[in-house]
């Protein structure tokens, strides 16, 4: 096993990058998201339906990761922060300049509500040997992102499969 | 007002969900990326997408595709449908100029050990007949007019 692979293997299963969301869950993003996909679900637009069905307004479950994407800029920050930092760490450690996400599983627990301050941490689950696909040569990895609310209730778990790679010589544009 | 609800008993394996067609523009891609706070350039900068990602244009990001699948599923279930788990597999990208078509098929239904009704649904997002993303979803559905999956918490919710 290479030194790099050994270092990375030691991180498998370890909780990394605990974070609190930079802002409370808010309805502006909920409406912008619904607008972006023309989602007319009355849970997000009609407070009476939300009260009746979900005990008050909630965020679309699939917005989980939205609440953790950092501001593109903030006072005192010298570099743009990267979401899913474990993914970018792996690209850097293995020297793989490009990356795509191939699979994404999200499991939903307690509903997320406006005003919630969510917390998260990331866990590396696996890293593959080098593989070659039509994109290039690199490695697949699986990263879990665990989300809880301010009452320490689990709200969701996201699992991502990423492929970090170097483009094949002479490939396409 | 009482929102209409799809009941588990009216769902059977093999049932097809209605098709959703949508003409994707650069605005669709950029709006979806910004709505999900995804500032990465391949979702708004065509030159970056072409030169760095080797794709033909900017493309829909994963979180916004998740929002499309959620909308498609809850258009079918109504507001009482509650997503338990979704898995996406990206096979290709969706670009401005594409007409994306979402279709879905019920794979099965079950009532779990705590009495919650579930439907398993396979959804495909295709462009020109080529599948770009597949999604398998586990969605909780009410079993009766007075049942509501959203009231389930802790051990009574097993997604």
Beta strands in B24-98 (DSSP E): 82-90
Distance from CA of B67 to the nearest CA of A (A): 6
pTM: 0.88
Report the number of distinct structural domains present in chain A.
1
Asked if B31's CB is within 8 angstroms of A105's CB, the reply is no
Q: Which pLDDT belongs to residue A149?
A: 97
pLDDT at B139 over 90: yes
Low-confidence winner among A19-23, A101-105, A129-133, B39-43 (lowest mean pLDDT)? A101-105
Q: Which pLDDT belongs to residue A24?
A: 97
Residue at A57 is within a domain: yes
Q: Which pLDDT belongs to residue A82?
A: 67
pLDDT at A173 over 90: no
Of the candidates A85, A96, A71, A82, the one whose C-alpha atom is nearest the C-alpha of residue A122 is: A85
Q: Which pLDDT belongs to residue B2?
A: 55
Q: Does B59 touch chain A if contact means CB atoms closer than 8 Å?
A: no
Q: Which pLDDT belongs to residue B121?
A: 98
Q: Does A111 touch chain B if contact means CB atoms closer than 8 Å?
A: yes
CATH of the domain at A163: 3.10.129.10
pLDDT at A172 over 60: no
Q: Which pLDDT belongs to residue A80?
A: 65
Residue at A63 is within a domain: yes
Residue at A107 is within a domain: yes
Domain encompassing residue A76: 3-167
Summarised one tens digit per residue, pLDDT across range B13-30 is 999 999 999 999 999 999
**In sequence order, which residues have a C-beta less than 8 Å from that of residue A2 and are 6 or more positions away?**
none
Q: Does B14 touch chain A if contact means CB atoms closer than 8 Å?
A: no
User: Which residue ranges form the domains of chain B, and what is each CATH number?
Assistant: 8-156 (3.10.129.10)
Dist. CA B80–CA B74, nearest whole Å: 8
Asked if A69's CB is within 8 angstroms of B39's CB, the reply is yes
Residue at A10 is within a domain: yes
- B127-142: average pLDDT: 97
pLDDT at B109 over 80: yes
Residue at A146 is within a domain: yes
Q: Does A173 touch chain B if contact means CB atoms closer than 8 Å?
A: yes
Residue at A135 is within a domain: yes
Q: Which pLDDT belongs to residue B1?
A: 47
B67 with A39: CB under 8 angstroms?
Answer: yes
Residue at A172 is within a domain: no
Summarised one tens digit per residue, pLDDT across range B73-87 is 999 999 999 999 999
Asked if B63's CB is within 8 angstroms of A36's CB, the reply is no
Q: Which residues of A touch B93 (CB under 8 A)?
A: none
Confidence band of A1 (pLDDT split at 50, 70, 90) = low
Q: Which pLDDT belongs to residue A104?
A: 85
Q: What is the CA radius of gyration of chain B?
A: 18
The angle, 0 to 180 degrees and rounded to 10, between the axes of the packed helices A27-36 and B26-35 is 160
Residue B112, CA distances (Å) to A8, A60, B106 in order: 39, 24, 17
- A 16-35: CB under 8 A from B: 29, 32-35
**In sequence order, which residues have a C-beta less than 8 Å from that of residue A80 and are 6 or more positions away?**
A70, A72, A73, B39
The residue with tokens 């699986």 is: A142
Summarised one tens digit per residue, pLDDT across range A78-90 is 776 667 889 999 9
Residue at A173 is within a domain: no
Instruction: Please give the structure tokens belonging to residue B74.
Output: 């809850």
């Amino acid at each position: 096993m290479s030194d790099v692979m050994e270092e990375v293997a030691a991180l498998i299963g370890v909780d990394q990058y605990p974070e609190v969301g930079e802002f409370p869950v808010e309805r502006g993003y909920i409406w912008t998201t619904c607008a972006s996909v023309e989602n007319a679900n009355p849970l997000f637009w009609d407070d009476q339906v939300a009260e009746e069905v979900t005990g008050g307004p909630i965020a679309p479950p699939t917005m989980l990761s939205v609440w953790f994407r950092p501001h593109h800029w903030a006072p005192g920050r010298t570099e743009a922060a990267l979401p899913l930092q474990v993914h970018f760490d792996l690209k850097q450690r293995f020297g793989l300049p490009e990356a795509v996400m191939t699979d994404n599983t999200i499991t939903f627990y307690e509903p997320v509500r406006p005003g919630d301050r969510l917390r998260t941490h990331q866990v590396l689950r696996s890293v593959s040997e080098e593989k070659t696909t039509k994109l290039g040569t690199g490695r697949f990895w699986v990263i879990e992102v665990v989300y809880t609310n301010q009452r320490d209730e689990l709200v969701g778990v996201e699992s991502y499969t990423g492929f970090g790679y170097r483009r094949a010589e002479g490939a396409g544009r | 007002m009482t929102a209409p609800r799809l009941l588990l008993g009216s769902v059977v394996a093999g049932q097809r969900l209605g098709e959703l067609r949508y003409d994707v523009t650069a605005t669709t891609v950029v709006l979806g990326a910004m709505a999900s706070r995804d500032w990465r350039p391949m979702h708004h900068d065509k030159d970056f997408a072409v030169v760095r990602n080797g794709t033909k244009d900017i493309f829909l990001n994963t979180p916004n595709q998740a929002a499309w699948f959620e909308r498609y599923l809850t258009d079918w279930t109504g507001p009482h449908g509650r997503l338990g788990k979704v898995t996406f597999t990206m096979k290709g990208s969706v670009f401005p100029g594409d007409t994306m078509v979402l279709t879905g098929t019920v794979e099965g239904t079950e009532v779990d050990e705590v009495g919650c009704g579930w439907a398993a649904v396979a959804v495909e997002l295709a462009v020109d007949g080529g599948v770009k993303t597949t999604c398998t979803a586990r969605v909780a559905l009410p079993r009766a007019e007075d049942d509501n999956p959203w009231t389930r918490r802790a051990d009574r919710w097993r997604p």
